[in-house]
Structure 1
Amino acid sequence: MTVAQPDVTVVIGAYEAMPYLVECLASVEAQTLAPERIEVIAVDDGSTDGTGAYLEEFAARAPMPVTVVRQANSGGPSGPRNVGLSKAAGRYVFFLDADDRLGPEALERMVAMADRNGTDVVLGRVEGINRKPPTSMWGKTLDRTDVYSSNIKFTLSAQKLFRRAMLERYAMRFDESLWTGEDAVFTMEAYLRADGVSVVADHTCYYLVGRSDGKHVTKTGGYLKRFDSARALMGLIERLVPPGAKRDVLMVRPFLVTLLPQFGPVFLRDTEEVRRRKLELAAPMLAAHWNEGVAHRLKVEQRLRLHLVAAGRPDLLDEVLRFLQAKKEPEPVLEKRGTRLYLAYPHFRSRAAGVPDRIYLAEPREAKGHPGWRQGPTTSFTRRAARKLRRLLSPRRATPRGAATT
């Protein structure tokens, strides 16, 4: 008798996951998708706390087929996920962390969303339990979107529904050489290769659980691993996206989320050796990918910090960091009849520092709300719009493109 292909394979990589694993598996068992439409592949990554035994107990009683793999500890989440993916048979794959849990109806809703829209990746709304998840992408349910026109680039965790045919077509696997950020590289590649992405924003599909013992993998790892992660993500974007505005939009993510925190208040507490090493590691990434297209998409203080790192000026950066640490507000400087707003963070118009004025220029999204500011043609966005309008109205463009001429 031919066994029907399951709709979704739930891959669970587990290491020292007790007692969180109990509720994790209960959330799988409670799914409204019929049991025969789900398969579970659970990989015990060398646990010593009873995780493997509990997985086998669950497999013996679960209503859906469950495969348990027990292996020596691999040191990170990539290995177990890759093992599970290699054994998956479902049309879709969902990666579930053993200390988290699914929301009610999560799999049914996400599979239906992918089937209805023909999309290759589905994001389900995430809520945190003793953890703070990203929120900017849950404003609206989207049947079909992409990584450029939505905020999905700010959620690159692996806990999403992926069409397995796409993963196999591109031989996608998690990078086992990365000790953190491996899911960011995998998920960004999926976004870029996907034939559409869906967002389920009106129903909680996933609960991100903060462990009381502090052993969650994203909370571990030194600064060197963060630089490895940023380098890998930038490299992927460089390989898959040609230079230009689209690449700049995506480069914001590794600069803002992974690299910039290394040059926050922690930098003031770092030893001289660590500070020197961080600047050395950041230099080639900034040289290759830091440009005006990325910079103007950041807030002024974020842009200023990265500019000073790129310039190799930790002495100037320290003053900026102390200013931020003290929660001071920069003095607003309005010019050009209120259409140009500078935020006077430290070193603004200091001849000794030599930081260009453009670094302090607030873009419209940041300038909104400042008394006296009004959007005008001197902002970068409206300058571009004005130039485009002038070209369209030029007599040389009076004949529509492609029309016959006599």
Structure 2
Amino acid sequence: MSLNGNHHIEQNYLSSSKVSIVIPTKNRYLLLLETIKSIREQTYENWEVLVVDDGSTDETEAQMLALSQADSRIRFVKRSQGKPGAPASRNQGVAQASGDYIIFLDSDDCLAPHCLEKRVATMLDRPDLDFGVFACQVFCDQPGDEALLWNRETQEHEHDLDRFLSLDVPWQTTSPIWRKAALQKLGPWDESLIIWQDWEFHVRALVKGLKYEKFSQPDCFWRMPVKHRDSIGKKGITAGYLLSNEQLIAEVHTMLAKAQLLNAHRRYLIAGLYFWLATQWSTYVKSTDEALRIWTICREKNLVNTIEYWEGLLYFKVRRTRYIRRLAREYLSIRWSTELMRQRHSVTLQNTPMSTQLAQS
């Protein structure tokens, strides 16, 4: 057979695989139009978009219905089940998707023109993978306007699960492409959470042992939020937000224990999440009582020893005074491991410069 004939066979095999792109949205149709535009400009054409609306009151419905009439691959549906929020919208989108592969895309983010073609080719070439993870580039107004990656690459001695537990999140919502069968093994998005739903979803995939591989060439764009842009599922740091975080940390702790993945290092990482949570209560809600309650839970779960527990109690009791807080923090930084004294996300998150090679490719 001629080389040209082989090429056509390969192209037909590639294009036979359908990709379903699930987009939850609410009240930001202008940004959503940019997102849809990036999909319609794909070099790969066998796709469908499920825009799942979570109760928009702007022009979202009219705009999407007009687009769906112009392009039958675009489907507009209203969330009709579950709680308000992105998780229920994504679950409904997956339930109605007809593709072989699923990509979750937020309604203010974009795909590079080659994204779907390269992802499908990769998954066809690697039938052993449950999902593939592709690098993501940060942007502000137009894709490509910032030479920054979502985060650095995982080093040889690191485990991605540990990076998630360290708040050094290695990838974001749009980076993976999932086989639909793998999502059935993983289960639905957790609709009880009001924050960090994507973090939980990816942690659960790693704990369940789904097979994956990461690819370093960026093919999607995450929009850096500004004050007037709020994303569906994201709220301010309130008591409700922090109670949801508490529920999530407890669930992940239990998840790791049941999977027999809770080694000494990860126990400290979970303790670090509780320390982070207690710090959030103290800083944003101004509640020393809640900070002390959270830190006591950490001790009750035997995640810290007695000395660390009492040192932490003292820290949260005095941290309302700025000068004393600084001295106490310096003391803990000497006494405690970096895993335990977790106060913020990693400095490389959404702030990793692209290499010259990637920027020019």
Normalised TM-score (structure 2): 0.71
Give yes or no for the alignment of 1:10 onto 2:21.
yes
Report if the CA contact (8 A) 1:82-1:173 is conserved: yes
Give yes or no for the alignment of 1:238 onto 2:243.
no
Give yes or no for the alignment of 1:30 onto 2:15.
no
Instruction: Find the aligned partners of 1:360 and 1:251 in 2 and give their Cα distance.
Output: 12
Alignment partner, residue 96 of structure 2: 87
Alignment partner, residue 331 of structure 2: 346
Instruction: Find the aligned partners of 2:288 and 2:251 in 1 and give their Cα distance.
Output: 24
Match of 1:154 among 169, 175, 190: 169
Cα distance, 1:108 vs structure 2: 2.3
Alignment partner, residue 111 of structure 2: 102
Work out the number of aligned pairs and report it.
313
Report if the CA contact (8 A) 1:9-1:41 is conserved: yes
1:92 maps to a residue whose letter is Y
Report if the CA contact (8 A) 1:308-1:317 is conserved: no
2:78 maps to a residue whose letter is R
Gaps (5+ residues) in structure 1? 293-302, 331-343, 349-356, 364-406
Between 278-287 and 160-169, report the one with greater CA deviation: 278-287
Alignment partner, residue 74 of structure 2: 66
Cα distance, 1:139 vs structure 2: 6.0
Instruction: Find the aligned partners of 2:122 and 2:266 in 1 and give their Cα distance.
Output: 25
**Which is bigger in relative contact order (C-alpha 8 A, separation at least 6)?**
2
Report if the CA contact (8 A) 2:139-2:223 is conserved: yes
Give yes or no for the alignment of 1:222 onto 2:238.
yes
Please report the RMSD computed on the Cα atoms of aligned residues, expressed in angstroms: 4.0
- In structure 2, the CA distance between the partners of 1:41 and 1:250, relative to structure 1 (3 Å rule), is farther
Instruction: Find the aligned partners of 1:178 and 1:362 in 2 and give their Cα distance.
Output: 25
- In structure 2, the CA distance between the partners of 1:270 and 1:168, relative to structure 1 (3 Å rule), is closer
Alignment partner, residue 184 of structure 1: 199
Report if the CA contact (8 A) 1:11-1:42 is conserved: yes
Match of 1:76 among 85, 92, 107: 85
Report if the CA contact (8 A) 1:120-1:162 is conserved: yes
1:346 maps to a residue whose letter is Y
Cα distance, 1:178 vs structure 2: 1.2
Instruction: Find the aligned partners of 2:193 and 2:153 in 1 and give their Cα distance.
Output: 28
| Secondary structure of residue in 2 paired with 1:98 | coil
Match of 1:280 among 275, 288, 293: 293
Alignment partner, residue 124 of structure 1: 134
- In structure 2, the CA distance between the partners of 1:289 and 1:19, relative to structure 1 (3 Å rule), is farther
Cα distance, 1:214 vs structure 2: 3.7
Report if the CA contact (8 A) 2:282-2:290 is conserved: no
Report if the CA contact (8 A) 1:230-1:255 is conserved: no
Cα distance, 1:8 vs structure 2: 1.7
Give yes or no for the alignment of 1:42 onto 2:51.
yes
Alignment partner, residue 31 of structure 2: 20
Instruction: Find the aligned partners of 1:165 and 1:49 in 2 and give their Cα distance.
Output: 35
- In structure 2, the CA distance between the partners of 1:362 and 1:164, relative to structure 1 (3 Å rule), is closer
Report if the CA contact (8 A) 1:78-1:182 is conserved: yes
Gaps (5+ residues) in structure 2? 1-14, 341-361
- In structure 2, the CA distance between the partners of 1:347 and 1:167, relative to structure 1 (3 Å rule), is closer
Instruction: Find the aligned partners of 2:194 and 2:151 in 1 and give their Cα distance.
Output: 26
Give yes or no for the alignment of 1:173 onto 2:158.
no
- In structure 2, the CA distance between the partners of 1:70 and 1:315, relative to structure 1 (3 Å rule), is closer
Cα distance, 1:186 vs structure 2: 1.6
- In structure 2, the CA distance between the partners of 1:324 and 1:163, relative to structure 1 (3 Å rule), is farther
Between 217-226 and 6-15, report the one with greater CA deviation: 217-226
Cα distance, 1:206 vs structure 2: 2.8
1:58 maps to a residue whose letter is L
Instruction: Find the aligned partners of 1:69 and 1:149 in 2 and give their Cα distance.
Output: 37
- In structure 2, the CA distance between the partners of 1:9 and 1:230, relative to structure 1 (3 Å rule), is farther
Instruction: Find the aligned partners of 1:149 and 1:113 in 2 and give their Cα distance.
Output: 26
Instruction: Note the alpha carbon deviations across 1:376-395, whole angstroms, 9 max, x for none.
Output: xxxxxxxxxxxxxxxxxxxx
| Secondary structure of residue in 2 paired with 1:154 | coil
- In structure 2, the CA distance between the partners of 1:79 and 1:314, relative to structure 1 (3 Å rule), is same
Instruction: Find the aligned partners of 2:314 and 2:332 in 1 and give their Cα distance.
Output: 15
